[in-house]
Amino acid sequence: MTHSRISRLLSVLAAGALLTACVSSRDAKDELAVPQTVPVSDLSGLTLQVGDQKGGTEALLRAAGELDNVPYKVQFSTFTSGPPQVEAATAGKIDFAVTGNTPPVFGAAAGAKIRVIAAYSNDAGGDQILIPADSPVHSVAELRGKKVVVGKGSSAHGHLLLQLQKAGLTVKDIQLVFLQPADAFTALSQGQADAWAIWDPYTALAQNQLKVRTLVTAQGVTNGYGFGIASVAALQDAKRNSALADLVQRVARASRWAKDHPDQWYQKYAAAIGIDPQVARVAQSRSLRLAIPINDAVIASEQQLADVFEQSGQIEHKPTFSHFVDNRFGDQLSQFWNTEK
* pTM confidence score: 0.89
- pLDDT surpassing 90 at residue 317: no
Domain of residue 284 covers 40-122+224-336
Q: Does 194 share its domain with 80?
A: no
Q: Is residue 18 part of a domain?
A: no
Q: Is residue 283 part of a domain?
A: yes
pLDDT for 39 equals 93
pLDDT for 20 equals 36
Q: Is residue 2 part of a domain?
A: no
Q: Is 187 helix (H, G, I), strand (E, B) or coil?
A: helix
Listed as own residue / partner, the contacts of 15-18 with beta carbons closer than 8 Å and 24 or more positions apart are 15/54, 15/78, 15/80, 16/53, 16/77, 16/78, 16/79, 16/80, 16/84, 17/77, 17/78, 17/79, 17/84, 17/88, 17/93, 18/79, 18/80, 18/84
Q: Does 109 share its domain with 229?
A: yes
Q: Which of 166, 199, 217 is the last residue of a domain?
A: 217
pLDDT tens per residue across span 238-273 = 999 999 999 999 999 999 999 999 999 999 999 999
Say which CATH number the domain at 193 has: 3.40.190.10
Which whole number is the average pLDDT over 218-230? 97
Q: Does 109 share its domain with 161?
A: no
- pLDDT surpassing 70 at residue 203: yes
On average, the pLDDT of the chain sits at 91
